[in-house]
Structure 1
Amino acid sequence: MFLKNLKRKWSSKPSVPSTATPQLYLAFYARLKYPNTYHYALHISSPESASSPEIRTMKYHCKNIITVTEGTVSIPFVYEAVKIDPESDPRIVVRILLGDVSRIDLVDSLLEAVPVGQGSKEDFNCVSWVKDALLRLDQAGVVSRGDISDWESVERTALDYVNEKKQEGRFESGWEANMPISRLITIALLGLITVASIPCIMILHFGVGTFDLIESISQKSPHLLLGGPAVLRTVYSHLEPLDAQLTSLIPFFWPLVTGAMPELSLFGVYMGGQLLSCLALVLIEGERKGNAWGAIGFPTIWATSWVFIPFGFVQPVHDLVHVLFSSLGRTKGRADANAISVNAKRMVLLPVSLTLGYIIPSFVICLPSPEVVSYHSHQGLLIAWQFFAIWTAISQFILTRLVPDNIINRLLGAGETPQRKAATALRYTYNFVLVVTGLTHSLILIVVLRYPFLQSYSPATTSQLHPLLVFQPISPFSNEKLEAYERGILSLLQYDTYFAGASSLIWALYLYSCAKPDATFAGLVGKATIFTVLLGPCGAALAVMKERDETVFADAAESDIPKKQN
């Protein structure tokens, strides 16, 4: 009856936005001496628009205190009402949403009047006090959009929810002895990809001479890029060690943006779209509540490391760290909607930040020189582009402070819950990035797949557009020295994209399978294949992650069980 009434009341449209009404929670606190039992308390949380979490939540409960009276020690129960920050209290196991508080002005007096102590009843404890407190609140009619009249149903539902989350590994820490086979396979595959990326991306290109040829440009005088007329710029920050590192990047990326090697430039456009999807994956994952202050919670650092460490190595490491150490990667069952939720305002602004920090700079570095920009300025723009993750973060920081909340509320729905706003904001970001990635993927595929049809008309031009030239890297077993480093650069970028895409796709499929336990291996392979054909490997990973999020949020919305908050 409780679940039925709860579902009916919460499915009805409120007369005022839900965020404008304080909410009542049943809170379970951990008891170290008795791990299978909980201390019960009631929380009343005010709207999220309050100035700080500390003044948003009041905790009501009864507790034991030690007193000494005339040499006699006693441990009586006392009533306590105190302001708290539930996000910073590690003792809270879960908070179960019970309903809205329509008459907040009556709460304090009603709860203060609830009898406390052994004199009120023989079996008095924190549980019986909460039971009596809910009865008083219900009789006074101060709770709406929730049914708290049947205490046994309330308690049973709450305990069932906690037990379910325990079985899913929600409260476990450390290494699980009974690790799911899917997670074990995922860890093995991600580890294999990480290890395999080292010889393919780094060792191979030392062997074939790619890095030696690039280094020779800065050692020879004059320092001419691609034989001239552009002269290599060597000063950017006037810090010699940093300038030396930045200078080494120019010969690598110069043929990519100047069109000196058509197949390299074509793949550069393709990789640009795939890189955008991986950047979005890293940034979104870093924004999730379940990753806050963990290793994955610093996405700008991860993405900035791509400047100095191959992208195809860093991304598998990121995915492996997530599965090994993030609470979202260690889950044994369905993901928690609250844990994968994000700050809706920051998320809905992310497409704009990506446009300002990554997409526009990517177009700017392709401007022709010296027709539009000088060789000197072009190299400066190319170096600035390397730090697109930082420009994106700065854009995000500025936008979140400039854009008013009322605009965000109108966009996401003023009366929606924070979780629904987060789901909508994520959907906007996913769709934006997938469209851009899909366009670049389709454009390059159309160009290179036209090769068989155009060859008879213009064989001299189309010989450089053969699909194998654009997409096939140098064999990892090759020992043949390169005569020109452009071919080595193309191969390195190809391996970068393939290793990053493969690891991201495997990682996303694993997280999707956690949200959809009934998903079959054939179904996962089919989904990955279709998305890869349409969007490329990194775009496919983002599309799978979007479906994972949609599934989790849909399950949370449809579930009859009250949700854990915070």
Structure 2
Amino acid sequence: MSKVAFYTLSLLGTCGIWGRNVLDGSFALVFDAINSESTHIPGTKEQLLTSITGIRYPIDYQLGFLVLYFWESVDGSHPATSAVGIYFLGQYLSILTVVLTDSLRKGQVSGFGKAIAWFLLFQASAIGCSSGIWAALYTGSSPLVYKNLPFSSLQQASLTPPSSTVFLIPALTFGFIAPSIIMAIPSPSLVSNRFQQLAVVVWNVFPLVVLALHKTFSVLLPTKGFLKQTSPTSHLKAIRITNGCALATSFAVHIAVSSLSLATVLFPAVFAPGYAEELGPTSVFVPPIAISKSKTVGEGFRSFLLWDQVFGYSIMLVVALMQLETSVKAHGKTFSWVKTVPVALVGAVVAGPGSVSLAVSWVRDEILFEYGKDSAVAKKR
């Protein structure tokens, strides 16, 4: 896939995500609120925190903007938006695992810190807007994509330090999953509105938390056994552990949200009035085409998240498939996009787009280090 195609997808994503929010009025609701003299959190009498870091422009202004945008997806006032948000986060975990693991590979030009910087940009602008730019730059510089490396060289370029790979598990657990749960704690019944605002802020800068935790765990946690060895066998073991944990979590969230949504069709009577429609499959999984006026920010944010998934996760899946193609061809086999894409699309329905991206990345490592090992043995014989 050419750079032009990725840049085009990025432009389309920006139009489909932010453009829709401008046209449906939800962007104006946030913009007017954050620029008013007295800004209250929607549905509360609590003032919006306008001084978090002490740097009004651009940091506190941006954080306040994000708090207002996210608030009605975590306060329970918009069940459909909350359900979409939970699903989005579940799939995002797999995307994080793929990109951060790739950043640890020997052959990567960009390191872990640069990957974190990209995720900060995704947080600020939406992954569906900026992932196309990331993909264009990544596929143009990474030896893991279309560089025609010999199989042995591709193996070396794909190796990761096992300890760094495994330490992604606690880093993402406490740096991403925990903030995602904490920001959804109801306020003011269990926590204060101020606490929940700060929790939303922390979630929006979670890449920095993940970075700090990963560095901390890398220093403090012991590295024993296979974690001390940078070898194909140790690498593959670390990949299996890390990917297995992330994939199981993403798939569990996919099943939970899908089952709840499907239950509104099969057993609508068990839901309170209005909830069956709010949580139905068309509300939770189908991006809206028609643009209707949003009465609240929460209504527009549902559309925002759905289209963000469509563009952002699709781009990530394409990049993962490009990497898979490179490894398959280096292995001396034939790769067919015509056959692979339908399988990936079915997988996205069954397990979620983020889960499929992680599964594709995992298969790539298995080809390089498990099946590749068998090929090397066969050649020696």
State the TM-score, normalizing by the size of structure 1. Answer: 0.62
Which has the larger share of helix? 2
1:365 aligns with 2:183: yes
The 1:240/1:220 distance shift into structure 2, 3 A limit, reads: closer
Partner of 1:385: 203
Structure-2 residue corresponding to 1:490: 302
1:218 deviates by: 2.4
Give the deviation of 1:201 after TM superposition. 1.3
Match for residue 438 of structure 1? 251
Query: What amino acid is the match of 1:547?
Result: V
1:375 to 193, 211, 216: 193
CA distance in 2, matches of 1:375, 1:531: 39
The one-letter amino acid of 1:266's match is A
Gaps of 5+ in 1: 1-184
Q: Relative to 1, partners in 2 of residues 1:313 and 1:364: Cα closer, same or farther, differing over 3 Å? A: same
Q: Which residue does 2:104 correspond to in 1?
A: 287
Q: Distance in 2 between matches of 1:296 and 1:404?
A: 20
Deviation at 1:187, TM superposition (A): 4.5
- Relative to the length of structure 2, the TM-score reads 0.90
Question: Matches of residues 159-558 of structure 1 in structure 2 within 5 Å?
Answer: 185=1, 187=3, 189-220=5-36, 222-241=38-57, 242-292=59-109, 294=110, 298-332=114-148, 336-406=154-224, 409=225, 412=226, 418-456=231-269, 458=271, 459-475=273-289, 478=291, 480-517=292-329, 518-558=334-374
- Are 1:277 and 1:434, in contact at CA under 8 Å, matched by a contact in 2? yes
SS state of the match for residue 275, structure 2? helix
What's the secondary structure of 2:352's corresponding residue?
A: helix
Q: CA deviation at 1:429?
A: 0.9
Code of the residue aligned with 1:472 in structure 2: it is V
My pick for the range that moved more, 542-551 or 530-539, is 530-539
Q: RMSD value over aligned CA atoms?
A: 2.3
Question: Residue 138 of structure 1 corresponds to which residue in structure 2?
Answer: none
C-alpha displacement of 1:276: 1.1
User: How much identity, in percent, do the aligned residues show?
Assistant: 24
Contact in 2 for aligned 1:515/1:551 (Cα 8 Å): yes
Which structure is higher in strand share? 1
- Tell me: higher relative CO, structure 1 or 2? Use CA pairs within 8 A at least 6 residues apart: 2
Which amino acid in the other structure matches residue 243 of structure 2? Y
Displacement, 1:229? 3.0
In 1, the alpha carbon distance for the partners of 2:371 and 2:314 equals 28
> After superposition, what is the alpha-carbon deviation per residue over 1:328-381, rounded to whole angstroms, capped at 9, x for unaligned?
223236651110111111111111111011111111111111122111121112
| CA apart distance, 1:562 | 12
Counterpart residue type for residue 95 of structure 2: C
Specify every segment of 5 or more residues in structure 2 that has no aligned partner in the other structure, as ranges: none
- Measure the CA separation in 2 of the matches of 1:271 and 1:528: 18
Change (3 A) 1:365 1:497: same
What is the rounded CA distance, in whole Å, between the counterparts of 1:300 and 1:197 in structure 2? 21
SS at match of 1:346: helix
1:561 shift after superposition = 8.3
Q: How does 1:76-87 map to 2 (within 5 A)?
A: none
Flag the structure with larger Rg: 1
Change (3 A) 1:216 1:360: same
Closer, same or farther: CA 213–348 of 1 in aligned 2, 3 Å? same
